[in-house]
Amino acid sequence: MYVCICNAITEKQIRKAAESGVEDLWGLQRKLGVAAGCGSCKDMASAILSDSRQARRHTEPVRYRPSVA
């Protein structure tokens, strides 16, 4: 689905940017150009980025480290 019509940015591109470490809307603007035109995609892009970052946090492996006795 296209999120930013002005720059033809898709939801998939935003999610991929989140996976590569983009953490906020400013980062998306630098990397993809999202919300650099009319700005009507700003809220949707931010929501997708936030959702992607939360999903990534829940899927990271938990490492077991035994305590020193």
The CATH number for 33's domain is 1.10.10.1100
The answer to the question of residue 65 being in a domain is no
- pLDDT, mean of residues 22-45: 93
- pLDDT, mean of residues 22-39: 93
pLDDT computed for residue 11 by the predictor: 96
The answer to the question of residue 69 being in a domain is no
**How many domains does one find in the chain?**
1
The answer to the question of residue 63 being in a domain is no
User: Domain span at residue 12?
Assistant: 2-58
Question: Which tokens in the block code for residue 51?
Answer: 């959702």
- pLDDT, mean of residues 22-30: 93
Nearest by Cα to 31 from 42, 46, 21: 21
Q: For the whole model, what pTM was predicted? A: 0.76
3-class SS of residue 30: helix
The answer to the question of residue 35 being in a domain is yes
The answer to the question of residue 66 being in a domain is no
3 with 45: CB under 8 angstroms? Answer: yes
pLDDT computed for residue 65 by the predictor: 75
